[in-house]
Amino acid sequence: MIDPRIVRNNPEKLIDSFKRRNKEFDMTRLSELDSVRREVMSRSEFLKAERNETSKAIAAKQREKEDASCDIARMREVGDEIKAFDQKLIDIDEEFNNILLSIPNIPDDTVPFGKDEYDNVEIRVIGEKPSFDFEPKGHWDVGEKLGIYDPVTATKLAGSRFTMFRGLGARMSRALISFMLDEHTINEGYEEIAAAAVVNPESLYASGQLPKFEEDLFGLREGLYLSPTAECQLTNLYRDEIILHDTLPLYYTAHTPCFRAEAGSAGQESRGFIRQHQFEKIEMYKFVVPENSMDELEKMVENAGNILEKLGLSYRVIQLCTGDMGFAAVKTYDLEVWMPGMNKFLEISSCSNCGDFQARRGQIRFRRTATDKPEFCHTLNGSGLAVGRTIAAIFENYQQADGSLVVPEVLRQYMGVDVIK
């Protein structure tokens, strides 16, 4: 959630933010609510001051055994008016906050202006694309012919846009999860969290999935939801808490299944297991002090890239433009892995600095010293990596002319094989 003071003190900044995101926004209702709220608060405070003075007057008259009935009657009237104003404030705040919850974060000044993904900016390309003396196949063909990817049975069991790996395909998924978690925890200082795959509405409001993206969620009984990303669980580790400054920055990582009712558009990416209703992902998450958040974002991008480099996969780093950036982000980099079978780069990780947006929604704060006023943390999240897309990249980049698949060297200790035939 954006700082509500922007509505009163700098509405032009909010309007400009929407323009940069290529969205329209009418400030009228927010400004009206803010104005009425100040009037109601002013009137309520005036009446409370009158009530205090009247109470003193009543006490003085009662001590002198004078008639205070008129004052008592007036105090009842004042009490009723205060109660009505307080209820009006509650109603105003609810509507005001509901509007704020629907407003996307304000992009950082360093984010390039653009309408959509075609205006994103390539920052760098890492690694060499593999060369083949045959026409490389799509990952779906590689996996099916090896018998380690079974879309037919997956559809029979659950329906379209669900995945099933078999044998060494399933083992590769497990190997990647272990490899990624080991890299983040042992080599990069993240603490591993094993969280439930189910989250409550409060957690989804704090991370930004509710109320805007409710249609993309799988709802369960008793108001719970299947988590769309471990970002939801990790954001809420310190919801409604004040963190000790000396402990920051805090790094967390988690492996969870992720569930999304909206799996994306059709087209080339609808083949194979790129856009699925359920997928595995390793999430990275950080709680940091505001002045360090941009540096921490660069480090997070390096952490995600390190996984790809150790897997021997070529990738590029893209900075998202204002029109393509996510709802909660102030700045985002995507990592796109080269897919020779699809003949294109494909997003495999997205790393975002959310500023204090999620911290405001979740009341996640820290104190610089024991006597300082609490401040909102900055939060960052990133994929480290999406497991299914990493498997797809391995299938396409490590395929051989005879249909076999070379296992990346860093995974062999986890899988116990060098080649899948």
Q: Is the pLDDT of residue 140 over 60?
A: yes
Q: What gap in Å lies between CA 149 and CA 362, rounded to an integer?
A: 40
Question: Quick one: pLDDT at residue 156?
Answer: 97
pLDDT, tens digit, for every residue of 374-421?
A: 999 999 999 999 999 999 999 999 999 999 999 999 999 999 999 999
Q: Give me the chain's average pLDDT, please.
A: 94
* CATH class of residue range 5-101: mainly alpha
Question: Quick one: pLDDT at residue 267?
Answer: 56
117-420 topology per CATH: BirA Bifunctional Protein; domain 2 (3.30.930)
Q: What gap in Å lies between CA 42 and CA 71, rounded to an integer?
A: 22
Q: Where in the chain is the domain with CATH 1.10.287.40?
A: 5-101
- CB atoms near residue 420 (< 10 Å): 23
Q: Is the pLDDT of residue 265 over 60?
A: no
Q: What is the mean pLDDT of residues 80-97?
A: 92
Question: Quick one: pLDDT at residue 268?
Answer: 56
Q: Is the pLDDT of residue 122 over 70?
A: yes
- CB atoms near residue 230 (< 10 Å): 27
Residue type for position 95: E
pLDDT, tens digit, for every residue of 4-17?
A: 999 889 999 999 99
Tokens of 261: 């009712």
What b/e readout covers 148-165, taking b as 16+ CB neighbours within 10 angstroms? bbbbeebeeeeeebbbbb
Question: Quick one: pLDDT at residue 269?
Answer: 63
| 49 band by pLDDT with thresholds 50, 70 and 90 | confident
Backbone φ and ψ for 180, nearest 5 degrees, come out as -65, -45
Instruction: Give 69-77 contacts, CB < 8 A, sequence gap 24+.
Output: 75/51
The proportion of the chain whose per-residue pLDDT surpasses 70, expressed as a percent, equals 98
Instruction: Characterise 379 by phi-psi region: left (phi > 0), alpha (psi -120 to 50), beta (else).
Output: beta
Give the DSSP letter of residue 118: G
Q: Is the pLDDT of residue 59 over 90?
A: no
Sheet bearing 364-367, strands edge to edge: 241-244, 364-367, 375-376
| 71 band by pLDDT with thresholds 50, 70 and 90 | confident
Q: Where in the chain is the domain with CATH 3.30.930.10?
A: 117-420
Tokens of 150: 């079974």
